[in-house]
Amino acid sequence: MKRRDFIQRALCATASSAMFSSFAGKLSIAHAAASPRYLLGTGYRALVCVYLYGGNDAFNMMVPTSTAGYAQYQEARGDLAIPQASLLALNPASPPTGGGTFGMTPAMPLLRNLFNQTQSPLAIAANVGALLYPITKAEYQAGSVPTPAQLFSHSDQSVVWQQTRADAPDRRGWGGRLADMFYASNTNQQLSMNISIDGENVFQAGDEVIPYFVGQGGAEGIWYVEPWQADRRAAFIALRDAAHGNALQRQFASVVRRSMNNQVMVNGALEGETPLTTTFPDTHLGRQLQMVARLIHVRNTLQMQRQIFFVGLGGFDTHDNQLADQAEQLTELDGALAAFYAATSEMGVANGVTTFTASEFGRTTSINGDGTDHGWGSHHLILGGAVNGRRIYGRPPDLSVGGPDDADWGQIIPTTSVDQYAATIARWYGVPPGDMSTVFPNIGRFATPDLGFMGAP
């Protein structure tokens, strides 16, 4: 792991630990609600957040190919511009807002092919970013409209993206707020509906629900209670099973019992599965998404109707050597996402599983020699059988140097908010319109709360 990725993940973990600050939230897992709320949609539903650590340069992932659009891009990008002839043409069913034609990086041929299918499962949300209100360049430069604090900071914007509460601190992520609404849908109340294959994160933190961590090979045991450490195991089990008088000790023992029981439950279900035939790439993200697919495959054994997964891929903080480094990361993303969609199709649940990308920000259109700096808006991918694919949603930005979407130094002002992006996904997941502001308190500030890239719940 690169030093930059290590620092980034450490900052995210620190921020995430703060999200779990309350005693009840830190030490308890979800229990059944007294009476389930009315939520939209039937059948199995799963969300898979693919977090791209470091700030993916999506302006080199989807590139304008019209004569005028490519000229603007090329002027801003200089030596980092991908040659126009090598771009993979995107053929949307209808032109995006503002028109123009676009191509995808040559590093992502599998996803480009999925996008161009007649019944496409892939959509692109253009120029999404953290916003408190819609904002223009003039308003941004005048400081007349509030913006999220520390806009170009990795740790701050990771929290903003995963919380969508930039102006009102909230220890919950929007995936956690969804889980608080939906966990009663699951018959199994011992296992959290939020499962992370990439460790601690803000996105999945809720009031009632906290994420359960699973490794790439399955649920992991507590290292000091393994069978070959008999003395430690005996002492630990005695502590776990004792009748404690102290509330903290009782809660600790309860959490440990639940963790051990969950390990047996999850690994037992995985061991009993019929293996999928879909081949996943042997990469960091490929192995994570393969585990997500396996967990979805045993959803009935685990008695789960609603689930939210979190996986991650680092290496996107491309201050230097960008063309080579980003191409490698996007190739890994391309192969892993394509394989995961194929696996959901094999299982017959493609219409019930939606995968989407997230990243703290995009990159500047300007360059610093061999890389780019921290930007603002960025493009994102949404993949699944319920996606209204083969379209680019939102308005792709003007990439001209000093243009109407250039806040300064090539930091592109978002034309779509994270709230709109997330709320569109949440509506498909089953959140009724009247409850949307409970999950996304700022959604009413934006004229189009639903971008349209998802089908009916």
- Is the residue at 454 inside a domain? no
Pairing mode of beta strands 353-358, 378-383: antiparallel
Collapsing DSSP states into helix, strand and coil, what is residue 175?
Answer: helix
Contact assessment for residue 306 and residue 185, using Cβ atoms and an 8 Å cutoff: yes
Q: Record the tokens describing residue 442, joined without a space.
A: 């700022």
Write the DSSP string, 295-335.
HHHTHHHHT-SEEEEEEEE-----SSSHHHHHHHHHHHHHH
- Choose the most confident range, by mean pLDDT, from 169-178, 235-244, 247-256, 364-373: 364-373
Note the pLDDT tens digit of each residue in 262-274: 999 999 999 999 9
* pLDDT at residue 158, rounded to an integer: 92
CA distance linking residue 85 with residue 105, whole number of Å: 11
Q: Nearest-CA neighbor of 114 among 97, 95, 90, 84?
A: 90
Q: What is the average per-residue pLDDT within 34-38?
A: 44
Q: Which residues, other chains included, contact 268 with Cβ-Cβ below 8 Å and sequence gap of 6+?
A: none
Main-chain phi, psi angles of 301, to 5 degrees: -60, -40
Q: What is the CA radius of gyration of the chain?
A: 22
Main-chain phi, psi angles of 277, to 5 degrees: -90, -15
CA distance linking residue 257 with residue 365, whole number of Å: 51
> Which region among 222-236, 347-361, 410-424 has the lowest average model confidence (pLDDT)?
222-236
Structural element, H or E, at residue 425: helix 418-429
- Is the residue at 453 inside a domain? no
- Is the residue at 450 inside a domain? no
Q: Record the tokens describing residue 105, joined without a space.
A: 């990086």
Structural element, H or E, at residue 356: strand 353-358
- Is the residue at 153 inside a domain? yes
Contact assessment for residue 207 and residue 176, using Cβ atoms and an 8 Å cutoff: yes
- Is the residue at 455 inside a domain? no
Q: For the chain, what percent of residues have pLDDT higher than 90? A: 77
* Amino acid in position 167: D
- Is the residue at 457 inside a domain? no
Q: Record the tokens describing residue 320, joined without a space.
A: 């230097």
Pairing mode of beta strands 353-358, 62-64: unpaired
Q: How many domains does the chain have?
A: 1
pLDDT band at 381 (very low <50, low <70, confident <90, very high): very high
Q: What is the average per-residue pLDDT within 242-268?
A: 83
* pLDDT at residue 392, rounded to an integer: 98
CA distance linking residue 382 with residue 388, whole number of Å: 9
pLDDT at 8 over 60: no
Contact assessment for residue 218 and residue 269, using Cβ atoms and an 8 Å cutoff: no
* pLDDT at residue 38, rounded to an integer: 52
pLDDT at 234 over 80: no
pLDDT band at 224 (very low <50, low <70, confident <90, very high): low
Q: Record the tokens describing residue 3, joined without a space.
A: 């030093």
- Is the residue at 201 inside a domain? yes
3-state helix, strand, coil in the chain (%, to 5): 40, 15, 45
Query: Residue for token digits 């190739």?
Result: 331
* pLDDT at residue 454, rounded to an integer: 98
* pLDDT at residue 174, rounded to an integer: 96
pLDDT at 18 over 70: no
Main-chain phi, psi angles of 105, to 5 degrees: -50, 145
Q: What is the average per-residue pLDDT within 358-370?
A: 96
Note the pLDDT tens digit of each residue in 299-352: 999 999 999 999 999 999 999 999 999 999 999 999 999 999 999 999 999 999
Main-chain phi, psi angles of 272, to 5 degrees: -90, 0
Alpha-carbon separation of residue 51 from 9, 155, 285, 381, 449 (angstroms):
11, 13, 10, 11, 22
* pLDDT at residue 457, rounded to an integer: 84
* pLDDT at residue 225, rounded to an integer: 57
Range of the domain at 230: 3-445
- Is the residue at 279 inside a domain? yes
Angle at 266 between CA 264 and CA 270, to 5 degrees: 110
> Which region among 62-66, 205-209, 290-294, 352-356 has the lowest average model confidence (pLDDT)?
205-209
Q: What is the DSSP letter of 443?
A: G
Contact assessment for residue 113 and residue 376, using Cβ atoms and an 8 Å cutoff: no
46, β-bridge pairs = 307, 353
pLDDT at 428 over 80: yes
pLDDT at 21 over 80: no
* pLDDT at residue 232, rounded to an integer: 73
